[in-house]
Chain A
């Protein structure tokens, strides 16, 4: 578009200067907004900057997910194997994620709640957002994310099965809680990435 071009100089039916319409356009003066609009623009830019700062790159996401899977598998193997010696290492040191404080439970280990409603609701919400926003991500990226989420789900499932045999095991509870927290983190990061990436 030519910035300087105005009515009457265009390529189709130029308006006659005597035309009432041409006169009206000629009188259509510029105005200014009733308020300074910059503070509103600036606030939105800052919000977007902050949003971008918490987003990871896709290779970072893929690497984090792979690392999580490796660590989770290792921990599961270590915890699920038979104890080396009777009476060794029985003092629980880590409490399950989301479990009540020790003061409320008399120092007893509380097994992880497998049907944690809050966790399921949060995961469900994030998965729904991811489904809605997946069109804004590269299909190859979506494949990587889904593969990693499946692997994390498998690790969670393994931990749950191990806990069926040893519900009070602090390491298994901690491992399960950690895997679930990481799943939430991954979903949150990916949904943020999807919402930012489509702009």
Chain B
């Protein structure tokens, strides 16, 4: 995508903004799909680009546009969680039981990605968010802490919990094939 399209979009050119949208939509859609699930991903993707249009003037070019947009998308998605009534206590709770860790099972499992999609939906939202941001999207704990308004230590414990739970669920699927 030409860099000029972002500049033109900032000046109100919707045709240029459509090109920006086309270039970045797949990544944003998949971020939303992984963080919020497939049912909410399409609407959230639209929300992200509407918000991006409103905030374009704030983009100063200090990071790449893709990075700026990605961070904005994460914020929009987390806002949605909170708007939908996800209480902060629930979002960041450490009190939920962690399933016992099963020994790793090497398997010729055919579609782990589908299993992961199902397993991740069973995580509490806080753990799911930290897992996706850290292990899939590559954010650091300090960055996740900034985004969620928690300490890096909380992010680490959420990640630990998410990984343990996901391993249990994936291994269970691998063993039982169900």
- What are the interface flags for B151-178 relative to A under an 8 Å C-beta threshold, 1 for contact and 0 otherwise? 0000010011001001100110010000
B166 touches A33 (CB 8 A): no
Residue from the list B29, B46, B107 in contact with A40, Cβ < 8 A: B46
Cβ of A24 under 8 Å from chain B: yes
* Cα distance A44–B51 in the bound complex, in angstroms: 10
Interface size of A in residues (CB-CB distance below 8 Å)? 39
Q: Is chain A's binding surface mostly helix, strand, loop or mixed?
A: loop
- Would you call B138 and A2 a contact (CB within 8 A)? yes
How many chain B residues touch A (CB < 8 A): the figure is: 55
A45 to B54, CA, bound (A): 9
Residue in chain A with minimal CB distance to B17: A45
B26-50 at interface with A (beta carbon < 8 Å): 26-27, 29-30, 33-34, 38, 41-42, 45-46, 49-50
Closest Cβ–Cβ distance, residue B169 to chain A (whole Å): 10
Closest to A14 in B: B135
Cβ-defined contact, A32 with B42, below 8 A: no
Q: Interface residues, chain A, CB within 8 Å of chain B? A: 1-7, 9-13, 15, 18-21, 23-25, 27-35, 37-38, 40-42, 44-46, 48, 199
Interface positions of B (Cβ within 8 A of A): 14, 17-18, 21-22, 25-27, 29-30, 33-34, 38, 41-42, 45-46, 49-50, 53-54, 64, 66-67, 70-71, 104-107, 109, 111-113, 115-117, 134-141, 143, 156, 159-160, 163, 166-167, 170-171, 174
